[in-house]
Amino acid sequence: MSLNTVTLVGRVGGDPDVKYFESGAVKCSLTLAVKRISRNSDEPDWFNLELWGKPAETAANYVKKGGLIGVSGALKFDTWQDRNTGVNRSKPIVKVDRLELLGSRRDNEGGGESGYSGGGEEF
């Protein structure tokens, strides 16, 4: 048996990068800052997120830099060959299946940071 599941809650590092394809598909890329509870440092761990379809459309319309979101999905690795050195490279990406908008509506609209309100909208 194998299992590949990732669940994260954190703040969005920048506005969504959205791409619309001729096929009608929608792709959204985001970065997510997540504080690690056991670490003494204030530096967050950063994750690259990739969303497709309805979650991508929701992120494009409602997610803004600094917004609090929850995601779940699977870890994948993008691989490529460096053009200058020819060395194989890879980058971990969380392919998001489920997106939840957390915090108050004011948080999601770019207002203050009042924190997690206990509710959320799932997409």
Q: Where are the domains of the chain?
A: 6-122
User: What are the tokens at 14?
Assistant: 């920048």
The CATH class for the domain spanning 6-122 reads mainly beta
What single letter denotes the amino acid at residue 1? Answer: M
Return the number of other C-beta atoms located less than 10 Å from residue 62's C-beta.
17
What is the per-residue pLDDT for 13?
Answer: 95
**Degrees to nearest 5, angle at CA 121 with 117 and 123:** 150
What residues form DSSP beta bridges with 87?
A: none
What pLDDT digit, counting tens, does each position of 4-52 carry?
A: 999 999 999 999 999 999 999 999 999 999 988 776 777 899 999 999 9
What is the per-residue pLDDT for 122?
Answer: 56
What is the per-residue pLDDT for 112?
Answer: 42
